Structure 1
Amino acid sequence: MVDSQRTTDRLTHARAAVFAIFGLNGFLLALWVVHIPAIRERVGIDHAALGSLLLLLALGALGGMHVTGRLADLIGSHRTTIVFVLMLSLTVVGPGLAAAPWQLGLALAVFGFANGALDVSMNSQAVVVEQRYRRPIMSAFHGLFSAGGIAGSLVGAAALAAGVRPALTLAVAGVVAAAVVGRAGPRLVRTEPPIRSSSPGPRAGYSRRVVLLGGVAFALMLCEGVANDWSALQVQERLGSPESVAALAFGAFSATMTIGRFVADRVTARFGSAAVIRYGTLVAAVGIGAVALSPWLVLTLAGWALFGLGLSGALPQLFSAAGNLDSGSPGANMSRVVGLGYLGFLAGPACIGWIAEATSLTTAMVVPLACVLLAALLAPVLTPTAPTR
């Protein structure tokens, strides 16, 4: 009885630790994002130069994702999670200290590497904790990431309004984050290198299941990227709404995505992960369809809200499935699926821009519509259909 209670307590502490790390990740990223205009002005670069430097952040993230999966398999996701969340905490101040374009580029590349590496590590650790719990909890972790992003945006906005220099805000946030990691890190679940079979077999990293999971992750994160970068502009251009009103589109999307992630685990436990992906993406399809067709502001905002709600539980199910593949390389599988998803997040806004230039922004919404319908179609072959109870 005592041993059982101790095991339960350790799992509770591990879950809280992973919650904290997901929340910190969202908080630090949002804090950087809200300071982009101030940092651009400090460095003295135009929008084109900023776009090029942000590409270095993306490339750094992809590099971090690429190397960390195998590293997590080799030394354990608990160790890589601690290392890279500390690295993220230390490097978040770099962009705020940059005084020249080359300094900003270097800072963003390192910051991006830490973020990409942490993304793979913390999702791998989240799968381990979920396996020990024996019930779905992955979506709630992603909900904490979203909530952390909201908190980071509010703190950053308050600091800017108070006239606090970006470097100081980012430095204080990094120190606080490192202190939280010092408390949370030892509570993570220790993992050992997976046992590999000595018999030859297929290259698990390139299995059909990994390709399918990665492809659908690409499609769903493309949709998130579209909502992040184009939702407000779509409302402004189609309906002629002022900027302050158009911004409500992204607010509606973010709010329902955050709320949905805290509810999705219960739905997954009741109906299974395949159902969450299938019906969630169908809800998202209804939402983005309303966005494309609606001439009314209220219906358009409701469409963006439905889009966020439908997407909220789908991506965590893909990451959970990737970490549970029986291949002996859970970290490597996670890095491939997360990496492909991140490529979609980067590619989506660009594709929408090109299509919108040739047609219209509203017409370009056919791309995310096609993506969510594809995910709904493939849901039965991505994950088990039985409820995970």
Structure 2
Amino acid sequence: MTTVPARPRAARVATWMFFALNGFGMGMWVVHIPNVERATGISHSTLGALLLVLGGAAFAGMQVAGPLVDRLGHRKLVPAAGVFVGLAVCAPGFANSWWTLGLALILFGFGNGAIDVGMNSHAVVVERAYPRPIMASFHAMWSIGGALAAVIGAATLGAGVPTGVTLTGTGLVCVLLSLGAARFVMEPADAPAEVEESAPVQATGRRTPGRLIWLLGGLALALMLSEGVANDWAALHLEKDLGTSASTAAFAYGAFAVAMTTGRFLTDRVAAWAGPAAIVRYGAAMAAAGLSIAAVAPWVPLSLVGWAIFGLGLSGGVPQLFTAAGNLDTRNSGALMARVVGLGYVGLLAGPALIGGLTRWMPLNVTFAVPVVLCVLAAVFAGVLTPKPEPAEQPVA
């Protein structure tokens, strides 16, 4: 068994912190959206437009941060992005009009996009210093951060704490964690040679980065679009199609989220044994089966089982795609990561809107055929993660 030196182990903990603070900051914003909407006096439609602005700013932040992390290094960009997010998350709590909220969300979205690419690129660097896959555990920490935000946010809302105070406290936590973790951030050259040699084989083998990056991005878009559908429509499906109460309907998303978080903690061990292509292939197939069950089930318990299977199936695929993207070309890891993360983020935003548009012409459970088909396609094309064999040496005449 290979012993991992102290430097990569410390960097792994630091990366956990960045993923957790990102999930925590985003989660605290989400639970306070109704309060912010009331404080600014905007309509639901205006809020929807501003949320699209946040998404666009996040996408821009990803594309800017990708090349910057290659040029400046992880040690400078990742903590700086964490501090930026911490400062920006305070701003929505003090918005008093649509335009001040819009400016706040541009800053917050840009910072979230930057840290998303930076921390995932850094996670790939840390994983190279390990003899086994560890990427999925980082994504699990993002989920833990979001869950912690839901609990703390509910408590502060129940206690009547002003939104500005809560979000300022959230920002302070993010800033302190970023500054505390900064000294442990690694650069590619910091990986110990003896460990780096035994690191997991790059999933992409000798394939051409230019073409493969779009295939990886397409797979990320398909899987994250499916995840976005669960985020926004799982509870509504139980309430509208199966006639449950709002409180019971919430268990649909709960089943999905708990299964996804659990799966992310388990994925790394399975990936070390089965390989990244198998995680994407069988996980996507499981997700397609789970969502199909949830969509057609006539009973609430069976539908909840379907949503849980859907979450478990989706849990491990995206981390494998990010690892593959980051290992395509170590000199341009950040820029390549930005494309895949960016396309995945487009899917995450587009999925709920696409389903919402389709419900004008068909029942909600029928629209779930779209993510089911995308999961099937992801299973079919998962072979792009299988390494190509090295060309055989030609015998010398």
Which range, TM-score by smaller chain? over 0.9
Partner of residue 211, structure 1: 214
CA RMSD of aligned residues (A): 1.8
Give the aligned partner of residue 319 of structure 2: 316
Q: Structure 1 length as normaliser, TM-score?
A: 0.93
Helix, strand or coil: the match of 2:329?
coil
Is the contact made by 2:85 and 2:174 (CA closer than 8 Å) also made in structure 1?
Answer: no
Aligned counterpart for 1:251 among listed residues 245, 254, 263 = 254
User: How far apart, in 2, do the equivalents of 1:291 and 1:180 lie?
Assistant: 39
State the 1:329 CA deviation: 1.1
3-state SS of paired residue (2:359): helix
Q: Following superposition of structure 1 onto structure 2, how do residues 200-279 of structure 1 map, counting pairs within 5 Å?
A: 207-279=210-282
Q: CA deviation at 1:88?
A: 0.3
Say if 1:273 and 1:385, in contact at 8 Å, map to a contact too.
Answer: no
Amino acid at match of 1:10: R
Deviation string 1:308-339 (CA, Å, 9 cap, x unpaired) is 00000000000000000036311110000000
Give the partner amino acid of 2:138. Answer: F
Q: 1:359 deviation in Å?
A: 0.6
Moved over 6 A (4+): none
1:380 equivalent to 2:383? Answer: yes
Residue equivalent to 1:189: 186
The answer to whether the aligner puts 1:175 opposite 2:172 as a matched pair is yes
2:366 alignment partner in structure 1: 363
**Residue 69 (str. 1) matches residue 66 (str. 2):** yes
- 1:92 corresponds, among 77, 89, 98, to 89
Q: Secondary structure at the match of 2:231?
A: helix
Aligned to 2:121: 124
Distance in 2 between residues matched to 1:205 and 1:175, nearest whole Å: 43
Cα distance in 1 for residues equivalent to 2:124 and 2:209: 20
SS at match of 2:364: coil
* Partner residue in 1 for 2:105: 108
Q: What residue in structure 1 maps to residue 144 of structure 2?
A: 147
The Cα of 1:372 is off from its aligned counterpart by: 0.7
Q: Contact 1:26/1:147 (CA < 8 Å) preserved in 2?
A: yes
- CA distance in 1 between partners of 2:78 and 2:279 (Å): 28
Instruction: Report the alpha carbon displacement of residue 206 of structure 1 after superposing the two structures with TM.
Output: 7.1
Partners of 1:377 and 1:152 in 2: CA distance: 36
Unaligned 5+ segments in structure 2 are 191-206, 390-397
Conserved in 2, the CA contact under 8 Å of 1:273 and 1:384? no
Distance (Å, rounded) in 2 between the aligned partners of 1:29 and 1:58:
12
In percent, how many aligned pairs have the same letter?
49
Q: Secondary structure at the match of 2:368?
A: helix
Matched, 1:31 2:28: yes
User: Partner residue of 2:130?
Assistant: 133
Q: Distance in 1 between matches of 2:44 and 2:388?
A: 47
Amino acid at match of 2:269: R
8 A Cα contact 1:76 1:192, kept in partner: no
User: Does the residue aligned with 1:335 lie in a helix, a strand or coil?
Assistant: helix
Over 3 Å counting, the alpha-carbon distance change for 1:285 and 1:186 in structure 2 is same
Count of aligned pairs: 372
- What residue is the counterpart of 2:344 in the other structure? 341
User: Which residue of structure 2 lines up, in the alignment, with residue 280 of structure 1?
Assistant: 283
Q: Which runs of 5+ in 1 are unaligned?
A: 194-203
| CA pair 39-75 structure 1, distance change in 2 beyond 3 A | same
Judge conservation of contact 1:274–1:384 (CA < 8 Å) in 2.
no
CA distance in 2, matches of 1:134, 1:128: 12
Q: What's the counterpart of residue 78 of structure 2?
A: 81
Structure 2 counterpart of 1:247, one-letter code: A
Give secondary structure in 2 for the equivalent of 1:362: helix
| Alignment partner of 1:46 out of 13, 36, 43 | 43
Question: Matched residue of 1:329: which SS?
Answer: helix
| Deviation per residue, 1:88-146 (Å, 9 max, x gap) | 01110100011111100000011000000110000000000000113100000000000
Distance 2:333 2:176 in 1: 29
* Local SS of the residue matching 2:132: coil
